[in-house]
Structure 1
Amino acid sequence: MGLGGPLERAVMDVLWAAPGPLRVRELLARLNETAERPLAYNTVQTVAERLAHKGLLARTPDGLAFRYGPTRTREEYVAELMLDALTESSDHGAVLARFAEGVAPEDARELFEALRRRASGEPEH
């Protein structure tokens, strides 16, 4: 399941950048550092709960509160989105070709190398 809006993306960005799971108060403080207008505690708690329900955050007890942390890395999440998008078409070859045409040359080289390693059975580095 994807991110529903800018606040969900902002929450995930903060949690991906954090050294570990955060309580809602900690999350709120970090979000409000860059927010155009201050967010309310209940708003951030609701968004964190929604993301936990979607499976994007894990919720662990911490005293009377909870800590929230990502269930997957940003890279894993983005790769999952890309794979989900690929399944939307019956012509995977055309989608992959169009994707390859649209990426920057340095990204194309990285993709080519990753595919070459996979095809040859080399371990990832």
Structure 2
Amino acid sequence: MDVLWSASKPLRVREVLKTLNGGAAKPLAYNTVQTVAERLVAKGMVERAPDGLAFKYAPKRAREDYVVELMLGALTESGDHGAILTRFAESMASEDARELLEALRRRTSGKPVP
């Protein structure tokens, strides 16, 4: 997913493979990358479009949206949201905490969060 999120355009399996194997000690096989790409399509994380005899793959949503979904999923699994949110806020770097606080201020004031 990191390769697809970092790309400026949809990629063929061969392009993903080239990026992944760029500095790899043990290169991946083409079929391995193709299988993973197809599984990501089946899970709804990636979309594919025909490109000649092959397909090009692109993420269906931004990395940020995916991470937010993971965080909200983890939060809903807890019975005590307040305790989890407090621990999360206390665990983050000061700069991140300031950004979170500013986003919460904008949200509660009715101003859109960029």
Q: TM-score scaled by structure 1?
A: 0.88
Q: Which residue of 2 aligns with 1:88?
A: 77
Q: Which amino acid in the other structure matches residue 119 of structure 1?
A: T
Counterpart residue identity of residue 29, structure 1 = K
Matched residues in 1 for 2:85 and 2:113: separation?
22
Provide the residue aligned with 1:55 in structure 2: 44
Give CA-to-partner distance per residue, 1:53-102, whole Å, 9 cap, x none: 11111111111111110111111111111011001111111110111110
Q: Does 1:111 align with 2:100?
A: yes
In the alignment, the residues of structure 1 paired with residue 57 and residue 24 of structure 2 have an alpha-carbon distance, to the nearest angstrom, of: 20
In 2, Cα distance between the equivalents of 1:70 and 1:34?
23
Aligned with residue 44 of structure 1, among 33, 37, 55? 33
| SS of aligned partner of 1:39 | coil
**Matches for 1:1-125 after TM superposition, within 5 Å:** 12-125=1-114
Shift of 1:124: 2.4
Q: Distance in 1 between matches of 2:100 and 2:23?
A: 34
Alignment partner of 2:86: what SS? helix
Does the residue aligned with 1:90 lie in a helix, a strand or coil?
coil
Structure 2: how far apart are the matches of 1:36 and 1:60?
31
- Structure 1 unmatched runs, 5+: 1-11
Amino acid of the structure 1 residue aligned with 2:62: T
Q: TM (normalized to structure 2)?
A: 0.96
Moved over 3 A (4+): none
Q: Describe the SS at the equivalent of 2:22.
A: helix
Unaligned runs of 5+ in 2: none
SS at 1:59's partner residue?
Answer: strand
Percent of pairs with identical residues: 70
